[in-house]
Amino acid sequence: MKTIQSRLKRFFEDFYLVFTLIFLYAPIAVMMVLSFNSSKSRSQWGGFTFEWYRHMFESAAIMDALYNTLLIAFLSALIATVLGTVAAIGVNGMKKLPQTLFMGLNNIPMLNSDIVTGISLMLMFIAFGISLGFKTILLAHITFNVPYVMLSVLPKLKQTSRYAYEAAMDLGAGPVQAFFKVVFPDILPGVISGFLMAFTMSLDDFIITHFTRGAGINTLSTLIYSEVRRGIKPSMYALSTVIFTTVLALLLITNFAPAKAPKEDRREGRQTSFGTAFRRTAMIGAAFLVCIGVGYTSFRHFASTHSDELFVYNWGEYIDESVIAQFEEETGIHVTYDLFDTNEEMYPVIEAGAIQYDAVCPSDYMIQRMAENELLAELNYDNIPNAANIGEEYFTRSEEFDPGNLYAVPYCWGTVGILYNSRRLEELGISPPTGWADLWDPRYRGEILMQDSVRDAFMVALKRLGYSMNSTDEAELREARDLLLAQKPLVQAYVVDQVRDKMLNGEAAVGVIYSGELLYLQEEAEALGLDYELTYVIPTEGTNIWIDSWVIPYNARNKENAEKWINFLCRPDIAKKNFEYITYATPNAAAFALLAPAYRENTQVFPDVSSLVNSEVYRYLGTEADDLYGALWKEIKAQ
């Protein structure tokens, strides 16, 4: 009877363990599979490839981020361990009340939400004029790591006997000697677990790093976040797969290869088994990662000697990386290339002047805002002769946000429109959409992907109502809000980047999308052999014409190099190369002439600008209007 019962119990236990493991590892399995996917899509299988592994090792951005991640994790864990262990010894000797107070303060970073910790540190760094960068991330990581060390070391300290220490003193050891000979070996397991816990927490942190990092520095988390806008490159999955399999392999080797250690006392063994396992395996993993890091540092150290510099700040995935290399080669100028995810994120960085960029690529309305706040330097067109390659009509459009074309040279442009899945529409029995008004058709329930951005969402509603998308009239905006509220039940999700993957995967019938994504989508759909077509329409009511342009901030230190950079990007062959990589329409007329006919005839990507009569360019509306838009948008989201 006993055996059946215990077997049954064992079976249920195993079943439970396996079930939990599947739950924990299913997403990791997905990542590993995607790392071999020749399609960039997150949801479609395009065939097997090792390409991403090659790309991963070649990509300076990924290797830099890996290096930063490991170095920060290692240094912050090390410093936190020293600081925390010493403090724990001190706290252990304290009286009750100060000890409680001390530990209370110590617990704050651990219990406080990451977002508050991150923001509060950021506010302090800015207030004290500490420029954000590598050291601020390090300081922040140390701060949230020490509590974990304290919590590992303190219980061990409490277990150590004071008498052993006193006996050592009686036998002639000095306090320091007695500590290292008697107390330290006892607390060592706690110190090591503390270190590893700190290392792990630092490795996994995103939010605090996000707020305390300066531009110019990425960890893996922040790099991934900046890639989210244009889609995670499978190289990231490849990197994760490499780390995962290495750690797992080392783990298996250490667990099964060596002869079994003599059986410990059972109870004792169980008490420490978790700690030991964690320590042993994590230590190996950490050692492996640190080795890579050190190797890479030395490599980087020797690779970087340069005198002439240029600091560029651009959107993620918004340039063909070989263009940067070519620029460096031709001019001998070393480029430090940084990424931002949104205009709003870029603005305070430039405004604070903590990092002095030489060339930045914001959108229309943000350029207006920067110019109004005197954050931009006037361009010297004598140094940018290639600007003549830019079509005149784009400079004319730019006047709406940059009167006199003083500050900005157009880089990419496009429209916002509706992408639809032809087959899904047939299934739903709806004829293809022609205007924004179609997005209120109740038959689309759960089939609409809207843009998750205040201005874009309101643009759709305002245009449908026949108002200007730069309206600041409260009544008009309230009307637009009511319209968006009425639409919400039909909306499947508000998305930014994911609209691409979701449309490719046939998740929704229609999606509001930037025209720049079109070529990628259509080529991908063809390559994957999808049985549905994705078609783009520019709504009849008019839409947003957006222009991302290069500008030079007022505090640029290498203005002439920045002009060389802009001039270089305006060169027809370079603009063509860039277009072929990022597939956002180029305003460069000379480059356009070089493109393959299939591209030139694609009126969805390259519509005739003069025909877009109802369309407008976003303008900056001021703080008050921004707040109003924000508040109304929140009402929609909270509903």
Partner 1 sequence: MNKKKTSLLALPYGLWMAGFIAIPLFMVFCYGLTDRSGTFTLANVLAIATPEHRKALVLSLLLSAVSTFLCLLIAFPLALILRGRRIGRGSFILFVFILPMWMNFLLRTMAWQTLLEKNGVINALLGILGLPALSIINTPAAIVLGMVYNFLPFMVLPVYNTLAKIDDNVINAARDLGAGPFQTLIRILLPLSVPGIISGITMVFIPALTTFVISNLLGGSKILLIGNVIEQEFTRGSNWNLGAGLSMVLMIFILISMTFVAKYDKNGEGTAL
CA neighbor of 369 nearest in space, from 393, 390, 346: 346
Closer CB to partner 1, 156 or 230, in the complex = 156
Identity of the residue, 275 or 435, whose beta carbon is nearer to partner 1 in the bound complex: 275
Q: CA-CA distance, 433 to 81, in Å (whole number)?
A: 61
CA dist 509 and 85 (Å) reads 58
Nearer to partner 1, 273 or 298 (CB): 273
Query: By C-beta, is 203 or 359 nearer to partner 1?
Result: 203
Distance CA 518, CA 522 (A): 6
CB of 496 to partner 1, least distance (A): 8
| Nearer Cβ to partner 1 (193/415) | 193
Q: How far is the CB of 43 from partner 1 (least distance, A)?
A: 6
Task: Closer to partner 1 by CB, 156 or 397: give it.
Answer: 156
Q: Which is nearer to partner 1, 359 or 495 (CB)?
A: 495
* CA gap 157, 88 in Å, rounded: 8
* Helical axes 266-303 vs 60-92, angle rounded to 10°: 130
Least separation, in Å, of the C-beta of 609 and partner 1? 29
Partners of residue 38 on adjacent β-strands: none
d(CA 284, CA 291): 11
Nearest to 131 by CA among 356, 337, 293: 356
Return the amino acid letter for 280.
R
Q: How far is the CB of 216 from partner 1 (least distance, A)?
A: 18
Minimum separation from the CB atom of position 291 to partner 1 (A): 16
Decide whether 93 or 442 has the Cβ nearer to partner 1.
93
Are 564 and 574 a contacting pair, CB within 8 Å?
A: no
Q: CB of residue 153 vs partner 1: minimum separation in angstroms? A: 8
Distance CA 410, CA 548 (A): 6
Least distance from partner 1 to the Cβ atom of residue 518, Å: 21
Shortest distance (Å) from residue 465 CB to partner 1: 23
CA 597 vs CA 450, 503, 602, 606, 610: distances in Å: 32, 26, 8, 12, 21
H helix intervals, 112-180:
114-127, 134-159, 162-170, 175-178
- Name the amino acid, one letter, at 593: A
CB of 211 to partner 1, least distance (A): 8
In the complex, the smallest distance separating the C-beta of residue 91 from partner 1, rounded to whole angstroms, is 5
Nearer to partner 1, 457 or 556 (CB): 457
594 or 625: whose CB is closer to partner 1?
625
Question: Do 140 and 212 form a contact (C-beta atoms < 8 A)?
Answer: yes
What type of residue is 138?
L
Question: Which position has the token pair 């052999």?
Answer: 529
Nearest to 366 by CA among 384, 383, 345, 387: 345
Question: CB–CB of 223/231 below 8 Å?
Answer: no
Least distance to partner 1, CB of residue 580, Å:
27
Helix (H, G, I), strand (E, B) or coil at 450: strand
Q: State which residue, 226 or 558, has the beta carbon closest to partner 1.
A: 226
Distance CA 418, CA 515 (A): 9
Sign of CA dihedral 496, 498, 503, 504: positive
Using the minimum distance from each CB to partner 1, give the nearer residue, 34 or 319: 34
Smallest distance, partner 1 to C-beta of residue 359, A = 23
Closer CB to partner 1, residue 103 or residue 292?
103
Q: Give the tokens for residue 479.
A: 């009307």
- Residue 467 and residue 541 in contact, taking contact as beta carbons nearer than 8 Å: no
Structure tokens that stand for 383 in this block = 């140094």
- Least distance between partner 1 and beta carbon 62 (Å): 12
Long-range contacts of 82-86 (CB under 8 A, 24+ apart): 83/142, 83/146, 83/149, 84/145, 84/146, 84/147, 84/148, 84/149, 84/150, 84/153, 84/194, 85/149, 85/153, 85/187, 85/191, 85/194
Q: Give the DSSP letter string of 266-299.
A: HHHHHHHHHHHHHHHHHHHHHHHHHHHHHHHHHH
- Smallest distance from the beta carbon of 443 to partner 1, in angstroms? 17
Closer to partner 1 by Cβ: residue 391 or 506: 506
State residue 261 phi and psi, 5-degree precision: -65, 150
